[in-house]
Structure 1
Amino acid sequence: MTVSCFKIYVACQSMLIVLVGAVPDYHIDQEGIPASRAELAKRIHFADNFTSIVTEWYLIEQEAYKVSLASSLFFAGLLIGNITFGPLSDKLGRKPVYISGSLTNLTFAVGIAVYALLGYCVREWRYLALVSNTPGIFFLLLSFMLPESPRWLYSQGKMAEAEDVLQYIALGNGKERLNLKLKPSTGALRKDESAPGILNLVKHPVLRWRTIILMYIWYACSFVYYGLTLNAGELRGNLYLNVALSGLVEVPAFPLCMFFIEKSWSGRRKTMTCFLVFAGLACIFTMVLPANAGLLLSPTLLALCGKMMVSAAFNIVYIYTSELYPTVLRNAGLGVCSMSCRFGGILAPFVPSMKSLSPSVPFVVFGISGLSAGFLTLLLPETLNKPIAESIEDVQSPKYQVLKNEEAEQTG
């Protein structure tokens, strides 16, 4: 529950610039662009339905890039945090640096809608930023009450602490106190041993090829997802309604992708390919719509459909990537892919500004990215009902995989 609520807060932070940096309707007296900001301040007239950093510092025309830059710097901060706190979590534990699973992405979508509601109620951008950021103090204090990951404690040889956490979880679930005693793992690394390093992702041909493809897929998912999310403020219609819908449209994406990835006729690879391709097509089709298209064929509706599809793909890629890497390299593989994901977020805020070339250009850029990532997914193997490799040798040995498949069929 705490982690889910924290996701709502994170969603507000990710979406902050959409409303704080929104551009209200305005007009400039006389023709031409003013030579100085002081002259611009005298000649420009903004609509007074809300304030933003744009109205505060006149971030229009040549200064408009600063709004996109502010959003890009946010994702650059996430990249730095990913590099810094990812390895730190393996040393200090999961609780101090906070990690969450793909299930909490559902509450992230709800958080976007909550932020839209906040923006509708609080129209002055400083107060909106204050209201959106203040809960962070509460969650920081609350995080100290969370128990440590029992799996991490177990991997570190802290059996007694892991047992205490498991007892705490059992009692929280309404179970009676268990007579629990963990045995030391025979496969755990000794203190004088080290896990395979990140360079193994490059040294071995199979893993190198998978890593390159997955890095691009993660990048494209992030690029299209955050691009369409941040572009919600650029769509026609009510600003706050568009932002809320861009979050709520993700809610059905999670059960939808969970349904398809467990079916033998679709699996992980085909499902993710279809979602990415459909997201790309939804974006590209916006350029062929007539100007007087009705509600059912409006660019806003297609953008929301694309957002739902890429959101589903984003959920699947976490599971799919975990199954494509052997156990000894899973953390390293997910870390590298997660870093490439942040580069997509860094570039995404600048794409909506390309509408100055043509209103359909941002959607074409997102569409091409989604299509290319979808087709590249077909080059990866299916992992549904397949044994997960434990070591690097397992990935490279076809004979091992055949034996494991036969064993899985016999036990199944």
Structure 2
Amino acid sequence: MVQYDDLLRDFVGEFGTFQKICFVLLGIASIPWGCLQMSPVFMLATTDTWCKIPYDNEIASQFCVVNYTSNCEELIKNLTIPREKIDIGCGATWRFEQCHRYDIGNVSVVSYANEPNIPTSLNNTAKITCDHGWEYDRSQYKSTVSQEFNLVCDKFYLNAMVSTIFMFGLFVGSFVVGNIFDRLGRRKGFIVTLIVTIILGTIEAFAPNYIVFVVVRFFMAASGYGLYLAGFILACEYVGPSKRTLTGMVYPIFFAVGFMQLSLHAYFIRHWWILQLSIMAPCILFLSYWWIIPESPRWLISKGRTDEAEAIIRKCCRINKVELPEEEFREALKNIEKSMKERNSNYDVWSLLKYPNMRKKTLILFFNWVTVCIVYYGISFDTSSLGGNPYLNLFISGAVEIPACLCGAFMIDFPMLGRRGSMMFVMIFGGVTCIILTFVPPCGDYVWIGITLAMTGKFFITAAFSIVYLYSAELFPTPLRSIGVGLCSMTARIGAMLAPQLIFLGQLWEPLPPVVFGVTSIIAGLLIMPLPETRGRKLPETIMEAEEFGKKRKQKKNRWYPGYGEIMKVEADGKYEMNRL
């Protein structure tokens, strides 16, 4: 029975001019999604904070003396804000406390130095919490979400909660947008989610309080996921089978370009709400895709809309400069439509866990997906804590993903590695890199060593991200391939939700995040060992084939099983006896 992939391979072309144009345009549309996911690096950036001082004018009138006081504001801060000693890895340093100030009950009680009328300190060391709000260091960031909604002290944990809620929105969105694309179509689903994302992204920039901000961000994550997913599905459904792996592994490069673009935007735009609007503005241009990007012919045929699919295929052939043999083409379309109608989908997600070998492979893949996500987003969100320039750090973080994706595409077809060996290699070495990072302090001459190690870990985990998609798809049987990969992707969101919280816990013990990244990566890499290699192998078409695929059989000494009977060696001179099973 002729399949749609046969039509692309035999008549249309697997990756002609038409497919290349669509691939690039859809990839460009996914760039803002990379910006949106990584925007908390700058929008939620924390800065030096100290209590707002009441009666500051009265204190200034007594403490700041003309011709003696060069910086009145700094003097008042020194006199009214306690300092605390912190360890930065390269030694201890002093900073202003963020959550306490001296209790200034009587500003007239001061002490003086040898020179008359030059006050040096307040005669009060009692400390109270910041009851009049906070002041922020705005030398680098003019405004952030943390500053806007005072997410400091007892509300500091709400910074990490923003990213966790965003990732939970992705988790929910993976259910919702998939159904939208299956019901409305890929192109219409893309436009619907694009419009919703533009509206929500604009509302977020003008959120009046924290609750509105996180609620809007949750729904924006659910809808914005469609920008990436719809483009990915369309790009893969346009191309032929031999090019699908390459396009699927190269497509994430556009997401990495979003990282790099965000760092440039944030460098020139220091107000969080303007930065948010600058990310959303280009999305308006993508509304034109309604007239530029066609619907997926594969989806149209599956819905019985063969005439529309035929028109798009003919347009594709004209752009690809391919002549269609009319009789064979029409016969192929009829066969494809018939084949899609005859397909059954009597399998559900529980079929993955029903059989022991399939269950083992599924659970191992789940753990690897969760690990890849927690390490990937953990390193990406934590670039500002590496020391050095945060804008340059994120730019490098995005740049290393480009060679990582290309390297992953090369490694999986390397005979000595294959899919399994490549996955083990990048996970284990990525984990070792993260563990080494725990011994490098983020300060002084060690800054670039730490950044190099973090980016090396990012390189390995990005390569793992690109490999695990393909490897998972090849391990699941055909009837459960989409369900299996989709379930893995949804499970991975657990790791994405945990990553911000893990970074937050790093405030209690700084080495915690890289230690968890490293240990889980090494464990995940070792768990890959019992899985079968899929390179060059016929992929399982049924549940039972998938259950037998990679299963190790126990063999008795001097026995082997050719498939039709049991052959037992009975004598050393080469005589054999056949016992029929």
Q: TM (normalized to structure 1)?
A: 0.89
| Change beyond 3 A, Cα 1:161–1:206 | farther
Q: Give the CA deviation at 1:178.
A: 6.0
In the alignment, the residues of structure 1 paired with residue 495 and residue 136 of structure 2 have an alpha-carbon distance, to the nearest angstrom, of 35
The yes-or-no answer on 1:394 pairing with 2:541 is: no
CA distance in 1, matches of 2:551, 2:384: 52
The match for 1:117 among 264, 270, 277 is 264
Bigger Cα displacement from structure 2, 319-328 vs 153-162: 153-162
1:149 to 296, 310, 322: 296
1:117 and 1:295 map into 2 onto residues whose CA distance is: 25
Aligned length: 400
Aligned CA distance change for structure 1 residues 144 and 273 (closer, same or farther; 3 Å): farther
Q: Is the 8 A contact 1:227 1:349 kept in 2?
A: yes
Check conservation: 2:29, 2:231, Cα contact below 8 A.
no
Unaligned runs of 5+ in 2: 1-23, 52-76, 83-96, 101-127, 190-229, 233-247, 554-562, 564-581
**What's the CA shift string for 1:47-76, capped at 9, x where partnerless?**
322221122233223222111111111111
- Choose the corresponding residue for 1:48, options 120, 123, 139: 139
Residue in 2 that maps onto 1:368:
519
C-alpha distance 300-61 of structure 1, shift in aligned 2 (>3 A): farther
Provide the secondary structure at the position in 1 that maps to 2:414. Answer: coil
The 3 A distance-change label for structure 1 pair 248 and 102 is same
String of CA shifts for 1:230-253, please: whole Å, max 9, x gaps: 011222011111111111111110
Report the Cα distance in structure 2 between the residues aligned to 1:199 and 1:257, rounded to whole angstroms.
Answer: 31
Cα separation, partners in 2 of 1:116 and 1:336, compared to 1, 3 Å: same
Distance in 2 of aligned mates of 1:374 and 1:398: 20
- Which structure has the larger Rg over C-alpha atoms? 2
TM alignment of 1:315-354, pairs within 5 A: 315-354=466-505
What's the secondary structure of 1:59's corresponding residue?
coil
Q: Could you give the per-residue CA deviations for residues 189-209 of structure 1, whole angstroms, max 9, x where no partner exists?
A: 438x54422221122222222
Deviation at 1:291, TM superposition (A): 7.1
Cα drift, residue 400 of structure 1: 12
Deviations 1:264-298 (A, max 9, x none): 21000110111011111111101223677846972
**Structure 1 residues 107-156: Cα deviation after superposition (integer angstroms, max 9, x where no partner):** 11111000000000111111111111223333345256422222223334
TM-score, structure 2 as length reference: 0.64
1:190 to 1:45, Cα distance in 2 relative to 1, 3 A: closer
1:39 aligns with 2:132: yes
Q: 1:4-403 alignment to 2 at 5 Å?
A: 4-27=27-50, 29=77, 30-31=81-82, 33-34=99-100, 38-41=131-134, 44-50=135-141, 51-97=143-189, 98-100=230-232, 101-143=248-290, 145-176=292-323, 179=326, 180-181=329-330, 182-185=333-336, 187-190=339-342, 193-289=344-440, 294=445, 298-397=449-548
Distance 2:547 2:506 in 1: 47
How high is the sequence identity, in percent, across the aligned residues?
32
Cα pair 1:249 1:308 within 8 Å, conserved: yes
Q: Deviations over 1:356-411 (max 9, x none)?
A: 22332211111122112111112211100000111112223469999xxx9xxxxx
Moved more, 159-168 or 318-327: 159-168
Deviation, structure 1 residue 77: 0.8
Judge conservation of contact 1:273–1:375 (CA < 8 Å) in 2.
Answer: yes
Alpha-carbon distance change, 398 to 7 in structure 1, aligned in 2, over 3 angstroms = closer
Shifted more, 292-301 versus 117-126: the winner is 292-301
Q: What's the offset of the Cα at 1:349?
A: 1.2
- Distance in structure 1 (CA, Å) of the matches to 2:325 and 2:308: 15
Uncovered stretches (5+) of structure 1, i.e. residues with no partner: 407-412
**Structure 2: distance between partners of 1:398 and 1:126:** 52
Aligned to 1:188, what secondary structure does the other structure show? helix
Q: Distance in 2 between matches of 1:373 and 1:330?
A: 22
Q: Structure 1: how far apart are the matches of 2:550 and 2:363?
A: 25
* Contact preservation (8 Å) 1:171, 1:177: no
Identify the range of structure 1 (157-166 vs 259-268) with the bigger mean alpha-carbon deviation: 157-166
Larger strand share, 1 or 2: 2
Summarize the Cα distance change of 1:142–1:338 in structure 2 as closer, same or farther, 3 Å threshold.
Answer: same
Describe the shift of the 1:377–1:389 C-alpha distance in structure 2 as closer, same or farther (beyond 3 A): same
Q: CA deviation at 1:105?
A: 0.4
CA–CA separation in structure 1 for the residues paired with 2:534 and 2:451: 35
RMSD: 2.7
Counterpart contact for 1:234–1:352, Cα < 8 Å: no
Q: Partners in 1 of 2:179 and 2:170 — Cα distance?
A: 14
Q: Distance in 1 between matches of 2:473 and 2:434?
A: 29
Write the distance in 1 (CA, Å) between the matches of 2:448 and 2:270. Answer: 31
Please identify which structure carries the higher helix content. Answer: 1
Most deviating of 300-309 and 84-93: 84-93
Question: Deviation at 1:26?
Answer: 4.1
Q: In the alignment, is the contact (CA less than 8 A) between 1:275 and 1:309 conserved in 2?
A: yes
Displacement of 1:353 in angstroms is 1.8
